[in-house]
Chains A and B, each alone.
Chain A
Amino acid sequence: MKKLITILVVFLIQFAVWSQTYSIKYKSFSSSTDGNIEEAIEKWKNSTTESNFILLYNNGISWYGAIDKAPIITEDPENSNEQVVSTKRVVKVSVYKNHNEKLLFTDFGEIFARFGEINPIKEQNLTIYDWEIKDKTQKISGYNCKLATLTDDKGVKVVAWYTDQIPINDGPSRFSGLPGLILQLQYGEKFFYTATSIKKENDNIIIPKPEGNFMKPKEFDEYMSEMLKPRTITRPDGTVVRVSGGNN
């Protein structure tokens, strides 16, 4: 009995200690939808448009995705869940990271569900990025930030500003592994993420592992290239869709 109570107490304490969830809101820009990113940021500064993405972090597990798709927090969706599968491929992807088990899951949502296909989830090892920390610093809203860069395996240069005053080794999209939270990240000239708020949630929130059809990277790549072949599909409701082909 004593043992049971001790275990329960320890478990509860741990639960109490470890179940602190942090939510960091990001505004993300992409050159394919926003055009010139600098101009898009100008427009956003002068408007009241809310942030569109969120990073939830709890004890080494994080989820990053569109606010209206967040597993726990729901807000009024800004726009309809439009997923345009065209050669411009605007898709709201979410990323689940488990730092303890070193796993990364990329959930492509209902990208192909409309064609009666399965939801693919790419399962891979959490990338250990070879960040290069530079001497440059800047203050972002009172936080002392340092500059870190890397070149990914596609040759794209990534630039991130992080602060170790918020010791969460995570960030937007699939990026992580810096000594602090990534407040701003630029992926080549294609994507730009900027953090707008950080909050420690009062409620105990458990971030669930995504559900769907898990595929290892090779299987996933084969599936995607198959799906993005130019072809004509007849949807379950009878409408005919033409897939014009994906970017190579």
Chain B
Amino acid sequence: MPRVLLTGLLLLTVIPSWCQYKITGKIINEANSLGIALATIQVNLVDGKLVTYTISDAQGEYELELKKAGIYTLKITHIEYESIIDTIKIKNISSLITKDVILTEKTETLGEVFLEYIPEVIKIQQDTITYDLKKLTNGTEKNLSNVLEKLPGVEITPAGQIAVNGKIVQKLLIDGEELFKKQHRTTSESITSKMVEGIRYLDKYHDFGNLEGFDNKQIRALDITIKDEYKNKITGDVLIEVGIARKVRMHSNLYRLGGKLKLGFIGDWNNLGKQSLTSYEYTQLVQTRESEDLNIVDLPTQQQNDQTPKFFDPTLDVSQRENTFGALSFVYRPSKKIKASLLNVTSNTNQSQRFLLTRNFFENLDAQQQESRAVESIFFLNTTLLELGYQPNKKSFINYVFSYNPQNSDDNYIVDNRSQQNTTRFFQQITNKGHAINQKVSITKKISPKMLLVWSGIAEIQNSENNLNIQSDQPFLNLNFANTFDLFQFQDKKLRTYGYELQTSTKFENSKLGLHQGVFFSKDVFKNTLENNDVFANNIETDRTDSYFGLQYKGNMSGKLYYKAKTQYSYVSFKRFDEFFERYFFLPSLSLDYRFNVSQQLGFEYAYDYQIPDSKTINNDPIVKDYFRQQLRSSVSRDQIFPSHSIRANYFYLDPKSGTNLLLFGNYSFSPRFLTMNTFLENSIINFQNITGKNQNRITLGSRIKYAQNKLRLNVFANPTWSFTEEENQINSQENISKTSRFSLVSGIYTNFRKGINLNTGLAYDILNYTTTVNNIETESSSLKPYFYINGSLFRKKLNWKLGGEYAMYETDIDRTEIFDIRPSLQFSVNNHWEILLEGNNIININSAKITENFNAINYTESRISDTIEGFLILGIRYLVK
């Protein structure tokens, strides 16, 4: 049945192009009966609208093609002859019409005509937005990220991505190339604002490898052009800062742009707690494939180390952090046909955390625990990413990507746990070692003027070892111990994925039809053993084959309504515990975009897809999580699938003159079955198990509103976001409905004067509410952070100063913390090369700062007082390499 539908659809789109009507003829000079070259023959509709035209050849002959029968007017013109307008009737029967036209010479001469009019420059860049930096900036911006924050519709998200008009930018181009791949925040902080010549947003940027006439490599890019004086030499800066309590920061950004070889280097060492990557940038580093490249819905991907994101997110509960970071990138483009790029990123973090916790269990209020916890961690990662592209001609493109990502981490815990009348001391060590090698090759070929073929092959290997060692002075986790209270757990994960996908894309007048087919094989092995204990012995292997085919139809109607409809049939078979399972899926998705004009758009998207849980999720034996938590046998059935529906809608409006903009967005997703946990308490030990939850509803609504008053150079913004999740899981093996709602608002005013003092003030408010039906839990936590900054410059912008601070109030059901954070900053340019800097953060709490946080787990709530990163006051010198 699907085959018939497919053929029918294909036929429908192809049939109209078969019918052609041809008009041929000769344009003849009345005087000598010779053919007239370079005469223009236009075919118009009766209302005057131009349908098609052509120019006669050296013999005076011409040929035109029409798609529909009807009545047309033929207009023949030539600069030396009198124009003729004639009517022509195209009947359904006749497909070839001959029409010769005789022209007579012009008798009147043109003479000289002066054109008196006012030419109007049209804003023609429909898919490009050029930002007027002179109007939007005031010269005090330090780096590209400070400039981007001032552009209307441009936002750097907390994850470090750049969004323009609500859409995430896929590439950040510096001098035409993306040097540090997806590390957009890091890159934009490393480019000084003085280097920036211009910034443009390109909605339909054709990247290297895009074949002429197609949009196989069409992406959204932010293009930063660099001033010529910063090209073809090493440019950048080197910075050293030292301060009270041995705080040090060394940082360097060096670039060599222009020319065929572009180089970039970012290096950093600091003990201020500043982290060089965001967790989003980290996950992107290890990916070789873009999600838009392939149509496979759910390829197994492994989170190397479940704890690594903690090193990249801005955390309040870190008392000390020392970070070494280096990123080296080069892009070599010797000709238009070849491009090679290499990126190497290394990061090493040493951090300390100190906590005092009070843990309350909902089911047993007498089981309250108090704990002091000290954690020392080291995390190391390295990524080498190589990409080669070759475009030998306009018809083909070959691309190869290779990445190698080793990483390891070591966490050491010293815990003193007091519950009821027992005090137990734990030493816990979690070590993780692993690496991933990912490769992708793709070959794109234009097989006809309207058809493109893409073949992609993938080979990925991931290995990780995760070992846990716990020592105590008393028994723990209800385990049987011989003499010493010692536990060693070894965990191994291996994942191998191989496969290919073949895609074809056929162009029509206003639409494209794409067909795709692919096969992927994967093997996912999970092993977990406890020394001297046969109970905790997991050895699960999943062998999986995904084969699928699908079609996609996209296009636009009168340049306003853009649609994309996709459907896919997948057959998945997987083998576990010597049992064989198979599933068939029908996956539709639809997206609609209505573009009123370049500055007003409405979008809507719907998709249905699925996930298959990996081997670790269906563990059949327990796994120790840490000194007071363990994961019991999973109750997720072996052949479980988790489907989900998602809907997205957004509306965007931008006033190009003032920059005032409004963005409204909403996401809703519904998963009838999803992966969640059942947790229950047993003698102060948290036990949890993976279960299949039901009816997860998630909704997020938000808006970004900015009002810009050009004359006053004043900007007012408000960014509210509300999200709500309701799901059915289990607590203590009882059916539970949990609801989490979160509202956050960031709102403020800032001015942008070129001279004088500028103001930046506002507040950030966040409130989180969590309820459950079992145990009737209701908890709330909130934070309110008003901020106030003023900045200005003196001595003709040689001295730039900034003063201000934040007053942060963190509140939970139990406790409240207030932090008053003052942040001064001074920057003095001695000359074109040297600058002196003074920077401070949280200078009132330079020694001993603490914070209160509330952590909600399903069975318990933790109130934490933790040491937070100390403030600093540092003095430094910066040398600008020119």
**Which A residues are closer than 8 A to B by beta carbons?**
10, 13, 17-18, 20, 22, 37-38, 41, 45, 57, 59-60, 87-88, 99-100, 133, 135, 140-141, 143, 146, 149, 153, 155, 157, 159, 164, 166-169, 177, 179-180, 183-184, 186, 188-189, 192, 194-200, 230, 244-245, 247-248
Of chain A, the residue at the smallest CB distance from B206 is A155
| B119 and A99 contact, CB distance less than 8 A | no
Task: Kindly list chain A residues whose C-beta atoms are within 8 Å of the C-beta of B79.
Answer: 20, 22, 57, 166-168
Interface check B12, CB cutoff 8 A = no
Task: Kindly list chain A residues whose C-beta atoms are within 8 Å of the C-beta of B39.
Answer: 167
| A198 and B112 contact, CB distance less than 8 A | yes
Bound-state CA distance A168–B109 (Å) is 15
Show 27 residue pairs from A and B whose CB-CB distance is below 8 angstroms, ordered by the A residue. A20-B80, A22-B110, A41-B121, A59-B38, A99-B38, A140-B117, A141-B114, A146-B50, A155-B205, A159-B124, A167-B39, A167-B77, A168-B79, A169-B38, A169-B40, A169-B55, A179-B42, A186-B124, A192-B119, A192-B121, A194-B119, A197-B112, A197-B115, A200-B109, A244-B228, A248-B259, A248-B260
Residue of A17, A140, A248 most packed against chain B (CB within 10 A):
A248
Interface check B126, CB cutoff 8 A = yes
Task: Kindly list chain A residues whose C-beta atoms are within 8 Å of the C-beta of B205.
Answer: 155
| A196 and B114 contact, CB distance less than 8 A | yes
Interface check B116, CB cutoff 8 A = yes
Bound-state CA distance A190–B782 (Å) is 52
Interface check B212, CB cutoff 8 A = yes
Least Cβ distance of A90 to chain B in Å?
Answer: 13
| B111 and A200 contact, CB distance less than 8 A | yes
Bound-state CA distance A100–B55 (Å) is 11
Bound-state CA distance A248–B339 (Å) is 14
Task: Kindly list chain A residues whose C-beta atoms are within 8 Å of the C-beta of B231.
Answer: 87, 245
Q: Give the B interface residue count (CB, 8 A).
A: 48
**Which B residues are closer than 8 A to A by beta carbons?**
31-32, 37-40, 42, 49-50, 53, 55, 58, 75, 77-80, 83, 105, 109-119, 121-122, 124-128, 130, 176, 205-206, 212, 228, 231-232, 258-260
Bound-state CA distance A244–B37 (Å) is 47
Bound-state CA distance A167–B85 (Å) is 14
| A183 and B38 contact, CB distance less than 8 A | no
Of chain A, the residue at the smallest CB distance from B49 is A135
Of chain A, the residue at the smallest CB distance from B34 is A14
New A-B pairs, 4, CB < 8 Å, besides A143-B115, A179-B53:
A100-B38, A100-B58, A164-B77, A200-B109
Bound-state CA distance A37–B176 (Å) is 24
Bound-state CA distance A248–B113 (Å) is 41
Task: Kindly list chain B residues whose C-beta atoms are within 8 Å of the C-beta of A189.
Answer: 125, 130
Of chain B, the residue at the smallest CB distance from A87 is B228
Task: Kindly list chain A residues whose C-beta atoms are within 8 Å of the C-beta of B105.
Answer: 17
| B110 and A183 contact, CB distance less than 8 A | no
Please tell me which one of the listed residues A135, A153, A177 contacts residue B55 in the complex, with CB atoms under 8 A apart. A177
Of chain B, the residue at the smallest CB distance from A230 is B232
Bound-state CA distance A43–B38 (Å) is 38
Bound-state CA distance A36–B125 (Å) is 15
Task: Kindly list chain A residues whose C-beta atoms are within 8 Å of the C-beta of B260.
Answer: 248
Of chain A, the residue at the smallest CB distance from B83 is A167
Bound-state CA distance A55–B79 (Å) is 15
Bound-state CA distance A225–B205 (Å) is 25
| B113 and A197 contact, CB distance less than 8 A | yes
| B115 and A199 contact, CB distance less than 8 A | no
Least Cβ distance of B208 to chain A in Å?
Answer: 12
Bound-state CA distance A230–B79 (Å) is 48
Least Cβ distance of A138 to chain B in Å?
Answer: 8
